């Protein structure tokens, strides 16, 4: 039961938040250097043989195939379809990504990180309220154009239940900062958490998918207006 998942996507302490170190995407040669190439006086007797070259190649093929298939068939496309396109057996796919959410995370990590990274720049160049709106727009665009991603975020499927937590952990801090700033400047109400918005936006992006992202954008815009409404009541009394 309590095994250790997290295959390709290693674990992160908590969150680099708005920092610049986005957690190496589908990182390959990255920090995945377990066996110390030449440890000074490191434990000698453990040379796990490294990782084989073909294994890395297959992993890359899988990521590329998954990216393509996710676009054409959505994130819940049959595993076989992805494996076939990658030219490997399903066994290989499952060894690299025991949970489907691992694959989804790996495929979108780059884009999620880009969203996160955009936060600081927005706060620096815009008023808090504008920064928040622009960021949400970007996030909405991301979710709404990834067939099935938004739905996957609250599908209930056990193989995907790690996704919401992942998103929360990843973009939570950034969004939190934007929200706090906007609330502090009085541009939006203060009783909204990052979690609220993340879930709400995901919900509003889900129905769409094949309807065009236009619907999602409009609805999210309404929601954001709602946040403003709470902060600036049209009839300030006494």
Binding at 127: pick from DNA, a copy of itself, none (beta carbon under 5-8 Å per type) = none
**Binding to DNA in span 58-77, by CB under 7 A:** 58-59, 76-77
Q: How far apart are CA 139 and CA 141, in angstroms?
A: 5
**Binding to DNA in span 165-204, by CB under 7 A:** none
Query: Applying CB under 7 A, does 49 fall inside the site for DNA?
Result: yes
Query: Applying CB under 7 A, does 105 fall inside the site for DNA?
Result: no
Binding at 95: pick from a copy of itself, DNA, none (beta carbon under 5-8 Å per type) = DNA
- Pinpoint the alpha helices (H) of the chain: 53-73, 79-86, 90-96, 100-125, 128-144, 149-152, 162-184, 194-205, 213-231
Query: Applying CB under 7 A, does 92 fall inside the site for DNA?
Result: yes
Binding at 207: pick from DNA, a copy of itself, none (beta carbon under 5-8 Å per type) = a copy of itself
Task: Give the phi and the psi of residue 221 in degrees, each rounded to 5.
Answer: -60, -40
Query: Looking at residue 34, what DSSP letter applies?
Result: T
- Mention every residue, 6+ apart, whose C-beta is less than 8 A from residue 203: 150, 154
Out of 5, 30, 39, 87, point to the residue binding DNA (CB under 7 A): 87
Stretch that binds DNA, among 86-94, 111-119, 219-227, 229-237 (CB under 7 A): 86-94
Does residue 198 sit in helix, strand or coil? helix
Task: Give the phi and the psi of residue 115 in degrees, each rounded to 5.
Answer: -60, -50
Q: How far is the CB of 182 from DNA (least distance, A)?
A: 40
Residues at the contact surface with DNA, assessed by CB under 7 A: 47-55, 58-59, 76-80, 87-92, 94-96, 98, 100, 158-159
């Amino acid at each position: 039961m309590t095994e250790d998942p997290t295959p390709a996507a290693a674990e992160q302490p908590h969150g680099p938040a708005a920092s610049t170190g986005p957690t190496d995407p589908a990182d390959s040669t990255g920090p995945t250097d377990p066996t110390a190439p030449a440890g000074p006086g490191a434990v000698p007797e453990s040379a796990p043989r490294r990782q084989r070259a073909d294994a890395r190649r297959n992993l890359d093929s899988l990521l590329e195939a998954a990216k393509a298939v996710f676009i054409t068939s959505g994130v819940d496309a049959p595993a076989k379809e992805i494996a076939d396109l990658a030219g490997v057996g399903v066994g290989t796919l499952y060894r690299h990504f025991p949970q489907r959410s691992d694959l989804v995370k790996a495929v979108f990590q780059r884009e999620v990180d880009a969203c996160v990274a955009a936060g600081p720049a927005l706060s620096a160049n815009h008023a808090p309220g504008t920064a928040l709106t622009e960021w949400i727009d970007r996030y909405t665009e991301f979710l709404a154009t990834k067939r099935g991603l938004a739905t996957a975020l609250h599908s209930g499927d056990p193989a995907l239940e790690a996704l919401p937590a992942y998103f929360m952990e990843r973009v939570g801090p950034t969004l939190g900062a934007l929200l706090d700033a906007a609330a502090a400047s009085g541009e939006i109400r203060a009783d909204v958490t990052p979690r609220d918005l993340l879930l709400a936006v995901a919900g509003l992006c889900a129905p769409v998918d094949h309807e065009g992202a236009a619907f999602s954008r409009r609805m999210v815009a309404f929601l954001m207006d709602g946040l403003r409404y709470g902060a600036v009541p049209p009839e300030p009394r006494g």
